[in-house]
Amino acid sequence: MSEVLLDVRGLSKRFGGVVALRSIDLTQYSGETLGMIGPNGSGKTTFVNCITGHLKPNSGSVGFSGRAITARKPFELARVGLTRTYQAVRIFGELTVAENIAIAMVDAVDPVSPERYAELADWLRIAHRFQTQAGSLSLDEQRRLELMMRLVQQPKLIMLDEPVGGLSSSEVRAMIALLAELKAHSTIFIIEHTMKVIRELADKVVVLLAGEKLAEGDPAEILADQRVIDRYLGGGDA
Ligand code: ADP
Ligand code: MG
């Protein structure tokens, strides 16, 4: 495929006595949708936190688009085109939808054009909500708002931490459709518990178990791997 966008080597993170990540290596190419799965507590969010500057790893290195970015601050990373959404949505609940997006625009080095802004708002179906207080939106709308807040920054890589978490099955289907369209022109890293999301979107999947990389490869092969089924999918989550 094309250029290496994200290059993680030997990434480790401990919390006191808990080893949350043990020497993880991972490569993501530009244009590739990479899925990360693993049981609760396996280190998925910690991995994204260490990449996006929300946590400092104990050891290891992170390269992004050819530059070393280990332990850089989130706002610095947003400026080089690396951003993320959160497992529990982070928006300014007291402010309106338009104000939330305006704040995200301030951080952007290369914000979208007014035409693209309007297009994104229509596509994410939040244009009619601009003057609504963000805290009063449904979770589904809040997830779409958070996506808009990142996409106005035109990131090179967007890391999504359980983007369908808490959504109903029809909302999950709609979000998969949005992400399938997003995938056509963005590079996406996606943590998910819903295997349908991984099956439909991921080009490659990485399985974490207790902070270690258990498997990596083609989603159809990985999801058919007996070890993965035994340890992770055995619970009927597939
Ligand atoms: P996942 O996202 O796969 O469910 P996490 O990355 O949230 O897993 O957690 C991995 C492990 O690290 C868990 O044992 C969790 O309790 C621990 N952990 C995560 N964040 C912190 C933190 N800020 N302080 C202490 N322990 C943490
Ligand atoms: Mg998590």
Query: With a 6 A CB cut-off, is 41 part of the ligand 1 pocket?
Result: yes
117, 149 in Cβ contact below 8 A? Answer: no
Beta carbons of 160 and 191 less than 8 angstroms apart: yes
User: What does the chain come to in residues?
Assistant: 238
Tell me, in angstroms, the distance from the centre of ligand 2 to residue 12's CA. 16
**pLDDT digit string (tens) for 121-134?**
999 999 999 999 99
Q: How far is 27 from 204, CA to CA, in rounded Å?
A: 10
Q: Is the Cβ atom of 40 under 6 angstroms away from ligand 1?
A: yes
User: Percentage of the chain surpassing pLDDT 70?
Assistant: 97
Please, which residues bridge with residue 7 across strands? Answer: 27, 63
Ligand 1 pocket: which of 18, 19, 48, 237 to mutate (most atoms within 8 A of CB): 18
Report the C-alpha gap between 11 and 50 in whole angstroms.
8
Q: Are 83 and 90 in contact (CB under 8 A)?
A: no
- Mind listing the pLDDT tens digit for each residue in 9-58? 999 999 999 999 999 999 999 999 999 999 999 999 999 999 999 999 99
pTM: 0.94
